[in-house]
Amino acid sequence: MEKEIRRWSFLIAFHFLLFTLVFAQDHGDCIDARELVLKLDQRIFDIPVPAEGPGQVNEISAPRGDKYFFRQEHHTHWYTFVVPFNGMLSLEIRPYVAADDYDFLLFQDSTGRICEQIQEKSILPIRSVISRNDKRLASRTGLDAYAKTVHQEEGPGPSFAQAIQVKKGQRFYLLIDNVYGGGEGYELAFKFFYQPKLFGQVIDAETKEPLDAKVYVEYWEQPIQLDSILTNPSDGKYAAKEPLEFKTDYKLVFTSDGYFTKVRKVNYPILRENRGKPINMALTPLKEGVTLTLEDINFLPGVADFTRATRPRLRETLDLMQRYPKMVVQLEGHVNGVLTPNCEQDTFSINLSWRRAGAVKRYLVENRIDPNRMTIKGFGCTQMLFPHSQRQSDMAKNRRVELKVIRLK
């Protein structure tokens, strides 16, 4: 009888072990971590099937209140990835259902034997968030460029830890624990931020001397100011303080008392190709007789209607008129007439250029600028910047309004 009991005990234990091996959670162990390939066009991963159960090996365990590790693995997924860029890395774990609670640990592999080190407890995660899910944030968690936490223990607390400075080629391991099991899965999103920040020099366009200026960093399509930087008066140099989001377009607005404001678009290709290179600007002195093209104030073809991207640029012209309340200007309209045979006598082009100058004046008057401070003039297509080009970008620049200073004080 005793032999029969031992035999059945052995068979039960064997079948339980076999069941565990067969049905163990996919990617539930460090050694079986799923490889994520981060590319420019692939930085968001859909995980529709939530983890159910741990892996074959219980690699993580810690006492209550430990800020580095879970007390135990509940329902885990392991991931590994290689960083493709230099910069700052952030990520978000975005549950599809706010009731789901996800914790995570992030390890850096610098030896090639990280899974052994984790089992030996000879390595700590570089970031960990084990706090209670915050439904006000839709239970999202991860790394954020502006977070202050490095390791957050269980219980109430921040949902995000500090983003990390990374270098191309570094490998990381990410462990995500589905605390209560079940749920609807999650989305895993990676973001990169550039560092070092933007920097450069602002000078006088005529004398080449350094200027005491301000540089504003804004999103290109939204009038949201992200940073305000003062140049060093002795050398005109500036450096941005805040990280810039990967694959996002920005604009730099350069201003200085007594000078025309200049705007420089800084798009993703420029950031990528010119990292480590300064973005310099020469500002034109504001004085009588000087003419300035109002940057990026463009019109739809054949009409005096502004393009959608023009509205933020009009606000910059308004700011200039407000900063110099005694300045009198002439607004000069121009049109694109690349295919027009005789610009000097083309009535349509001349009338259109007058209407475009008038559209800028009307905007300024609507915003409480005295109409007596502005006159308008239309030049038709007689002064095109690109008289022979048929590139759309060049023809758009032909459709412009310039501001000429008639009297400053």
CA distance 386 to 390: 9
Q: What is the pLDDT of residue 118?
A: 92
Q: How many CA atoms lie within 13 A of 174 on its CB side?
A: 23
Distance of CA 212 to the CA centre of its chain: 28
Distance of CA 253 to the CA centre of its chain: 17
Q: What letter does residue 232 receive in the DSSP assignment?
A: P
Q: What is the pLDDT of residue 382?
A: 93
Where residue 19 falls (left for φ over 0; alpha for ψ -120 to 50; beta otherwise) is alpha
CA distance 182 to 193: 33
DSSP-H helix ranges across 25-121: 114-120
CA distance 52 to 147: 30
Nearest to residue 71, comparing CAs of 29, 128, 117, 23? Answer: 128
And the tokens for 139? Answer: 């239970």
Nearest to residue 382, comparing CAs of 351, 314, 325, 336? Answer: 336
Q: Which residues contact 259 (CB under 8 A, 6 or more apart)?
A: 204, 211, 213, 283, 284, 285, 286
CA distance 300 to 243: 35
Q: What is the pLDDT along the chain (409 residues), one digit of tens a residue?
A: 555 544 544 433 333 333 333 334 578 899 999 999 987 555 788 888 888 888 888 888 888 888 899 888 889 999 999 998 777 889 999 999 999 999 999 999 999 999 999 988 899 999 999 999 999 999 999 999 778 899 999 889 999 999 998 888 999 999 999 999 888 899 999 987 655 568 899 999 999 999 999 999 888 877 678 889 999 999 999 988 766 666 678 889 999 999 998 888 887 667 766 666 889 999 999 999 999 888 778 888 788 998 887 877 788 899 899 999 999 999 999 998 888 888 989 999 999 999 999 999 999 999 999 999 999 999 999 999 999 888 988 888 888 899 999 998 7
Domain 287-409, CATH among 1.10.240.10, 3.30.60.50, 3.30.2350.10, 3.30.1330.60: 3.30.1330.60
Locate the domains of the chain by residue range. 24-194, 196-285, 287-409
Q: How is domain 196-285 classified at the architecture level of CATH? A: Sandwich (2.60)
Q: What is the pLDDT of residue 40?
A: 59
Q: What is the pLDDT of residue 179?
A: 92
- Amino acid identity of residue 368, one-letter, is R
Cross-strand bridge partners of residue 107: 173
And the tokens for 335? Answer: 């049109």
CA distance 369 to 329: 12
Fold topology of 24-194: Jelly Rolls (2.60.120)
CA distance 174 to 127: 10
And the tokens for 310? Answer: 């023009």
